[in-house]
Amino acid sequence: MDNEILKNLRKAILEYDISGSASLAKKAVEEKIDPLKVLNEMTKAIREVGDGFGRGELWLPDLVGAADAMSAATPIIEEEIKRRGSERESLGTIILGTVFGDIHSIGKTMVATLLTAEGFKVVDLGVDIKAEKFVEAVKKYNANILAMSALMTMTAPEQRKVIKFLEDEGLRKGIKIMIGGGAITDEFAKDIGADGYDPTAPGAVKLARKLIGKE
């Protein structure tokens, strides 16, 4: 029974079935399946999609669909992990958000889902986030990485502003900064003093691992 539920949950993520993945996650909890085992199976599925995207075999809608299905199931399983007092080994804490003036969230949400699946603790601040709020979150959560997204050219400079705020607070040396979004280039990332940039969600996961020395 356990294997059947896990198999179907994995299939739901691979087939971008949002309601199915949530329903199966609830069923896994009801059947008292080890939530860490469930999360591990979900991670395998989202990695498979991410790898397919990286090889050019799958496309952005595939990645979005799988991320949405994963996102529907993850909170249910994470709540069960907390309830049991279990603890998943974390690679580190990442503060994530779309900068002030920008309300685009699809790319950010995909990155958050993939990073969570990889084993990072992700604090997603949302969209339209001011520099001060990023800095407050870095302090509060003692983050290892700050990840910022900007889709529009007019909002990209906000990333530079956040870095400046971190420098002013004496926090810059203690955190790695990765940036992304449609308005960003590798040259821009270097110019503002970010530690890394990648144009894709799967690439962002690899970059995060590299920045903390796990790649």
> Which CATH number is 58's domain given?
1.10.1240.10
Of 84, 113, 132, the residue at which a domain comes to its end is 84
* Residue 188 confidence (pLDDT) above 90: yes
Six token digits for residue 154: 């007019």
Alpha helices in 92-182, H assignment, sequence order = 106-118, 131-141, 157-168
Of 84, 104, 137, the residue at which a domain comes to its end is 84
d(CA 185, CA 179): 9
Single pTM value for the model: 0.85
User: Does residue 200 contact residue 110 with C-beta atoms inside 8 Å?
Assistant: no
Q: Which range of residues forms the domain containing residue 75? A: 2-84
Residues 134 and 28 in one domain: no
pLDDT 10s digits, 192-209: 999 999 988 899 999 999
pLDDT 10s digits, 147-182: 999 988 999 999 999 999 999 999 999 999 999 998
Give 2's contacts (C-beta < 8 A, 6+ positions apart): 31, 33
**pLDDT for res 24:** 96
Residues 29 and 106 in one domain: no
Q: Which residue type is seen at 145?
A: I
Q: Which residue type is seen at 102?
A: D
Residues 55 and 36 in one domain: yes
